[in-house]
């Protein structure tokens, strides 16, 4: 990992990505506001996977060790929204829509179903739909890498990085999500190991009420 002034520069999807150091800490909407105020980008799930993966390549490094400590002691906010849909007669139903950098208004995540479905039909790369049936809860590394929810949230390269991160822990990774819902539910995403179970947690059903971390992404890198 190279360090350029206050930038942490890492490889990401064939290019380089720069995160501003230090991390922002707080509630989801608070961290989003701090990142916006600094004219930075909010980190998506694939970008967060690249950051954490790169830290494990030199886990004793000054900045890398701090990133891993955050992962182990708390979590990273991923600015990917989850809109869970119940089974219905609509064309898109019984699954979860994922949106990178969803709108936040008055401290709440806003995910407009009709607009998201329109974007899905237009093949917007920032919106994905995953039907229910993917594995939730504890799973082995092979199951995690093939999990449709993980692939949609992180992309192929990001999923591979998440699996590599999960392999650093003693116990199997755990995916927090739902297998079905009775009504539309909006939730945020986070990544961490905030319990004593020593396993990577990939959470897609979190609310807003706890303190997490995120590095802003520099727009000019």
Mean pLDDT rounded to a whole number for the chain: 94
Measured CA to CA, the distance from residue 161 to residue 144 in angstroms comes to 11
- Let me know if residue 207 belongs to a domain: yes
As a whole number of angstroms, the distance between CA 178 and CA 159 comes to 19
This prediction has a pTM of: 0.94
Residue 219: predicted pLDDT: 83
Task: Name the one residue in this structure whose structure tokens are 């929204």.
Answer: 81
What is the C-alpha to C-alpha distance for residues 45 and 81, in angstroms, rounded to an integer?
A: 10
- Report the domain count for the chain: 1
**DSSP structure string for 84-110:** EE-S-SSSS-SEEEEEES-EEETTEEE
Cα 178 to Cα 14, 78, 130, 149: the distances in Å are 33, 18, 12, 11
Hunting for tokens 């082995």 — which residue is that? 140
Does a structural domain hold residue 75? yes
Domain housing 170 = 2-214
pLDDT in tens, 110-153: 999 999 999 999 999 999 999 999 999 999 999 999 999 999 99
The pLDDT tens digits of the residues spanning 30-47 come to 999 999 999 999 999 999
Contacts by 126-129 with C-beta closer than 8 Å and gap 24+? 126/99, 126/100, 126/101, 127/97, 127/98, 127/99, 127/100, 128/97, 128/98, 128/152, 128/153, 129/92, 129/95, 129/96, 129/97, 129/98
Which one-letter DSSP state was computed for residue 141?
H
């Amino acid at each position: 990992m190279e360090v350029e002034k206050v930038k942490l520069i890492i490889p990401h999807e064939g290019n380089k990505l720069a995160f501003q150091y230090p991390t922002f800490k707080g509630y989801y909407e608070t961290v989003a506001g701090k990142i916006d105020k600094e004219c930075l980008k909010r980190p998506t799930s694939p970008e967060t996977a690249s950051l954490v993966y790169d830290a494990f390549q030199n886990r004793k490094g000054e900045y890398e060790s701090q990133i891993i400590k955050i992962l182990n002691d708390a979590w990273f906010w991923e600015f990917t929204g989850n809109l869970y849909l119940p089974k219905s007669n609509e064309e898109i139903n019984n699954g979860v829509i994922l949106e990178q950098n969803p709108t936040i208004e008055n401290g709440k995540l806003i995910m407009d179903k009709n607009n998201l479905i329109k974007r899905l039909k237009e093949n917007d790369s920032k919106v994905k739909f995953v039907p229910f049936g993917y594995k939730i809860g504890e799973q082995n590394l092979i199951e995690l890498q093939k999990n449709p929810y993980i692939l949609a949230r992180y992309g192929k390269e990001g999923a591979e990085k998440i699996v590599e991160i999960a392999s650093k822990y003693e116990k199997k990774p755990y995916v927090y999500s739902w297998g079905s819902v009775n009504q539309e539910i909006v939730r945020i995403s986070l990544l961490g190991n905030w319990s004593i179970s020593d396993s990577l947690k990939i959470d897609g059903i979190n609310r807003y009420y706890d303190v997490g971390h995120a590095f802003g992404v520099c727009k000019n890198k």
